[in-house]
Amino acid sequence: MKILITGTAGFIGFHLADYLIKRGDDVIGLDNINDYYDQQLKYGRLAEHGIRKENIQEYRPVQSKTHNNYQFIKADLTQKTELNTIFKTEKFDIVCNLAAQAGVRYSLTHPESYIKNNIDGFLNILEASRHHTVKHLVYASSSSVYGLNETMPFSTHDNVDHPISLYAASKKSNELMAHCYSHLYGLPTTGLRFFTVYGPWGRPDMALFIFTKAILEGKPIDVFNNGDMKRDFTFIDDIIEGVVRSIDTIPSGNPQWSGKKPDPSSSPAPYSVYNIGNSSPVQLMDYILALESALEKKAVKNFLPIQPGDVPATWADTTDMETDLGYKPNTDIKTGIQKFVDWYTSFYGE
């Protein structure tokens, strides 16, 4: 298949591109390489796939030096005309939209970026997909949409109308927008609610990256909610397995769906939403303990109250993904953290 992956200079997009390139798909990667975090890490990811920084020009495809089935385009989703030209020229079978303005805490201080990138940018993806007969649009949502919901584990069949950050609201908006396009235009869409993804080449604004850097430098780590946090940490390889299974399974609509008892996770339209997580929440202090073991160094902990926009616990109900797609993550936290530490020390020469 010919597959567009947006966000291929990012964490999940990089790993997905790697998988699909090796599988033999014809892959086009797209990213605007913004400065939300270290651009050198983003260029490092691109270099792993044979895309050299000096060859990158806006809106011009760059052929990989190592893979004949991979090209990269530096482009911004908010630029509708240029995006449409790419769709018209390349004629994608599948689109996997992983590009977004990430981060809960950043959304507290930079709300405009989330409307521009996550709402306006996603609208452009939807429009381009429907006008250029894309067979399936898969897109990133987030576990943050559960907001004030305290029913555990989090289920896609539950209502999620009480987000507590603009980032979460933008991701919930993506799901609503996707449903409109599935209903009105028959565009098959699948939304994936990611649960705390970690692993090699991870994001510097995520806890594992921040903690590892601080511990190695002998600096204290900030432990919020006084350590009383649980997260459904999910290793990147398990995430990619779920994304690929989603790409390969095009929704056709749920004939049992009822408007009298509407199920938020499906529709008569070709629309679906899945949780994609480990379904095994881990205490933050146990997570830190595993990291200390991998680094063979103790952390200096600075205990703080919970931050605005954060929730005390996440836990994914992945029953539907297991039933529909045969998805079952299998990487334990100790193994996953060790793989991250091995990559980190190699990449940064620690």
Cβ proximity of 247 and 166 under 8 Å? no
Active site residue 167: yes
d(CA 237, CA 248): 17
Structure token digits, residue 32: 């605007």
d(CA 186, CA 17): 27
Cβ proximity of 287 and 231 under 8 Å? yes
**Cα distance from N-terminal residue to C-terminal residue, the chain:** 40
Cβ proximity of 224 and 230 under 8 Å? no
Structure token digits, residue 279: 């379904």
d(CA 102, CA 165): 12
Q: Which of 139, 167, 287, 344 is catalytic?
A: 167
Q: How far is CA 24 from CA 68, 70, 140, 250, 327, in A?
A: 10, 10, 23, 19, 21
Nearest CA to 138 out of 13, 323, 254 is that of: 13
345-348 contact pairs (CB < 8 A, 24+): 347/44
d(CA 229, CA 128): 40
- Residues acting as catalytic residues: 167
